[in-house]
Chains A and B, each alone.
Chain A
Amino acid sequence: MNAPRPPTEQEKFGRHRPLTDRDAHEINRVEELSYDLKIHEIIAAEVVAIAPDAPLSDALDLLRLHRISGLPVVDEENLVGIISVEDILRALQNGEIHLPVKNYMSADPVSVRASDSIVEAIKIFTETGLGRLPVLNENKRLIGIITKGDITRGILRAVQHDYQEEEVRRYRASHLFEDIVSDRTTLVLRYAIQAGDFTHGGNASANIKRALLRLGANPQLARRCGIAAYEAEMNLIIHTAKGGVLKLEVESNEIVISAADDGPGIEDIQKVLQPGYSTASDQIRAMGFGAGMGLVNIQRTVDAMELKSAPGKGSKLIMRIAMSADDKKGAL
């Protein structure tokens, strides 16, 4: 036979594959929750307890009645022990079920504080193999019992709550317009774009796309707006002296995106509209921009594009995207 060797990962954890990324992601959230959630938030409101001088047969009745497997033993509000089904079984075997609880209970039980994170309880469960822990308040009074089942249920509830919150956020955004009565409601999002700020290049467009999705736009519409906005945003970063303003206006039947700057302006508008025409430096080309395709791209993506410019003064690019009934599922 082989010489003894340390167990493999698979033997230790009983897994046939390493953690997947999804597992890891979900575990992360659960881990987060185990720090966020406090013990008092997840335990049952009522606590069943028994006095140390009560007979073990009473304890057995209480366990049966409440379908639980252990009871805290309380003497004048002070926790003095825990009595479990196993303890009572021992008493039964010994024919001593008539004796008081204190003879068979585990004294000085490990407890947790109500204000602790549930991770504290998880640690103790893992280290000791115990199945239930008494929960004490700041005055060391017993206020409840925590079990592994409480932790599972508490985390499940919180995860469900997370999910509902995002739903609510989406719902609120997508019903924004219904609550506002006016002859013409317009939503305007405005972003200041700095010249040369490649680090944040694309952030405004990313936000525009996200906002449209939250408002209930269909993904294709949000993508088209994002693409047009992104090209316009990069143009402001690459080609202007002082940056400019990127603006998104959501109207009832169209979306208007505009990019305005105050210089340097365009000498020959026909020329900049030619595919491949570019004045970008090699440095900008090395970043993957400035291939002279930006305006061409915008033209293909939007329904109407208008470029106005006065050399020395500035430029304004207006892009219009029509919305069909199919595009607006929510507010849009």
Chain B
Amino acid sequence: MNLRDVIAISKGEILTPQLSADAEIFSGCCADLMSDVLAYSRPQAVLLTGLINPQVVRTAQVADVRAIVFAHDKQPPPETLAIAVQENIFLIRSPMSMYELSGKLYAAGLRSCDADERA
């Protein structure tokens, strides 16, 4: 799935207009626990989360997560945005819940991070 599809499906607002939205997303990951993201996400995944602190982006960077969707319209602080731009991690803010985001992206064909093998 293209990142642009993720933006459209999540009815998301782009928080990092400086970054390119031309990216392929291979899987989805729905989590608030950073260890979980590190353990189960796979490269080029989109992370759906309710957390907005800078560690989310750090975690994403280490785990090669390509984009993050913040649920419930949560606005991340400037530090989070700054690290994301620096590390080329695309940020989106969506009015939907993590459940709804997962459901709609899954229904649109985006599979789970561990669909084939555990990373």
Contacts and interface: CB of A to CB of B under 8 A. Distances in A.
Contact of B18 (A24, A227, A229, A231): A24
A293 B62 contact: no
B59 A202 contact: yes
Nearest to A295: B35
Interface string B24-52: 00000000111110110001000001010
A198 B55 contact: yes
Interface of A: 20-22, 24-25, 28, 198-199, 201-203, 205-206, 209, 219, 223, 226-227, 229-231, 234, 287-289, 291, 293-294, 296-297, 300-301
B58 A288 contact: no
A174 to B, nearest CB: 20
B53 interface: yes
Interface residues of B, number: 29
A297 B59 contact: no
A230 B62 contact: yes
A24 B16 CA distance: 11
Contact of B56 (A229, A230, A288): A288
B62 A291 contact: no
Contacts of A223: 43, 62-64
B17 interface: yes
Contacts of B54: 199, 201-202
Interface in B61-103: 61-64, 79, 87
Given A198-B55, A230-B59, A21 B20 contact: yes
Contact of A201 (B32, B38, B51, B58): B58
Contact of A21 (B14, B39, B58): B14
Contact of A288 (B32, B39, B43, B87): B32
Given A201-B54, A201-B55, A287-B51, 16 more contacts: A22-B21, A25-B18, A28-B18, A206-B87, A209-B62, A219-B64, A226-B63, A230-B38, A230-B62, A288-B51, A288-B53, A288-B56, A289-B35, A293-B35, A293-B39, A300-B39
